[in-house]
Chain A
């Protein structure tokens, strides 16, 4: 057994930290876009618009049914052979697109479940005072559904942060890619991958703290 090269690890920390913003930008953009798309899909699933519903089900089925890595390869290396303008899309954009489509399918399902979890009497009350369907969703149902869906949505965000590590296969040097390349130059695999693991862990732990505060804030109206 050899001793850990601590000096090497310390030297690597600022290098890997330099890639944290890129990871957060990819995951953050993916999260915002996936939330919007996921909510739209969920609302559609609740109202079951003819024809559209069939398409949405197909979309969700495909993006939940295939691995994220396969989807990323499909967009980045596959589709440009068919649609040449897609070569204009760089790795970062393709990664964000992949994360958005993949996770919006998952989010659609958990947001739909959360909407279904809002008591039926709330819907009826909203209708009884003459709200339109749009007003009812916006003012009554979605705010309550958000509270129910929040923990799973934060979970997806955590998954998304870790999912950005696949972007290296698209030529985006993010945290994992940087660690991989440093390891290939130094052959100190354990040190390099340990540093990147600890940094991911710290980021997710910070998010965990945020999640707890978010839940307390969302539950304010329900404290008895």
Chain B
């Protein structure tokens, strides 16, 4: 908490006319929601998860100090654009729209989009069954776009959420939610919520770290990308993946 107050004071000093402190080039400010189990979540005030381990490993490999900033998911892209953070580690899927705006590292997670329903709901077994149903999805997530691009999108009542889509599906307020396959399976296994996977994943998604496409962003991207390559080669990424998922999600399943 002190970490949040001290910058406030130093910023106040900056505004009051003190010289602007030079941005430490050795620091990588990583934005994440802290609310996407098991990639980034908090228990007893401790930020943890797959993304945290990956970024710490990247920091060690590339000789960068990693600074985590948590904020609500829909604010992350804005914060990256506004230069408040340098990258986002929150399972950001590479999409053409995002590629037009940002530059990405290589993908470090290969995953699928998954429909999840309340336990015992046998009406939904795949995306075709979503017609006439209400489906929850995280606001600003790639899954929102995936849903809107479906051939039967017009018939689906898509509800965008800031958080807690799992709970609203478990409560029966919506018929299903769409998220990535890996964390869906993990939520079902580890949470007390009555949920189940509905059918097979319907789209392969590749997740990577976005950077601003300016000169500094480019340099940082290349540095982080090189670190990801060595972590992929020496098996560190596989190891981190097994720790959280009991399987390797960092490579395509073939």
A: which residues have CB within 8 A of B? 2, 11-12, 15, 18-19, 21-22, 25, 77, 80-81, 87-93, 96, 168-173, 177-178, 180-189
**A25 partner residues in chain B, CB cutoff 8 A:** 5
Quick check: B82 and A92 within 8 Å, CB to CB?
no
A185 touching B83, Cβ below 8 Å = no
Q: Which residues of A contact B191 (CB under 8 A)?
A: 186-187
B44–A92 touching, CB < 8 Å = no
Assembled-state Cα–Cα distance A178/B21 (Å): 29
User: Which residue of chain A is the closest to B191 with respect to CB atoms?
Assistant: A187
A184 x B35 contact (CB < 8 A): yes
Residues of A within 8 A of B63 (CB): none
Interface: B146 (CB within 8 A): no
Please provide the chain B residues from 12 to 59 with a CB less than 8 Å away from any CB of chain A in the complex: 12, 14-15, 20, 31, 33-37, 41-45
Q: How far is the CA of A181 from the CA of B71 in the complex (A)?
A: 10
Query: Cβ of A88: which chain B residues have Cβ within 8 Å of it?
Result: 11, 14-15, 20
Q: How far is it, in angstroms, between the C-alpha of A96 and the C-alpha of B36 when the chains are bound?
A: 28
Q: Which residues of B contact A (CB under 8 A)?
A: 1, 4-5, 7-8, 11-12, 14-15, 20, 31, 33-37, 41-45, 69-72, 75, 78-79, 81-84, 163-164, 166-167, 187, 191-193
Cα A87 to Cα B8 in complex, Å, equals: 13
Contact A184 B163 (CB under 8 A): yes
Partner of A92, one of B5, B14, B20: B5
Provide the residues of chain A in CB contact with B36, threshold 8 Å. 184
Asked if A171 and B71 sit within 8 Å, CB to CB, the answer is yes
With a cutoff of 8 Å between Cβ atoms, the chain B residues found around residue A77 in the complex are 75, 78-79, 82
B1 touches A171 (CB 8 A): no
Per a CB cutoff under 8 Å, which of B1, B11, B71, B72 touches A89? B11
B42 and A184 within 8 A (CB): yes
Contact of A187 among B11, B15, B79, B167 (CB under 8 A): B167
Q: Which 9 A-B pairs have the closest CB atoms?
A: A171-B71, A184-B35, A185-B41, A187-B191, A181-B42, A92-B8, A77-B78, A181-B34, A15-B45
User: B1 contacts A169, CB within 8 Å?
Assistant: no
Task: Report how far A121 CA is from B31 CA in the complex, Å.
Answer: 60
Which residues of A have CB within 8 Å of B11?
88-90, 93
Q: Bound complex: CA of A178 vs CA of B47, how far in Å?
A: 10
Given A21-B1, A181-B42, A184-B34; 15 other pairs, CB 8 A cutoff? A12-B44, A15-B45, A22-B5, A77-B82, A87-B84, A88-B11, A88-B20, A168-B71, A178-B45, A180-B163, A184-B42, A184-B164, A185-B35, A185-B43, A188-B192
- Closest B residue by C-beta to A96: B8
The interface residues of chain A lying within 8 Å CB-to-CB of B45 are 15, 18, 178, 182
A residues in contact with B33, CB < 8 Å: 184
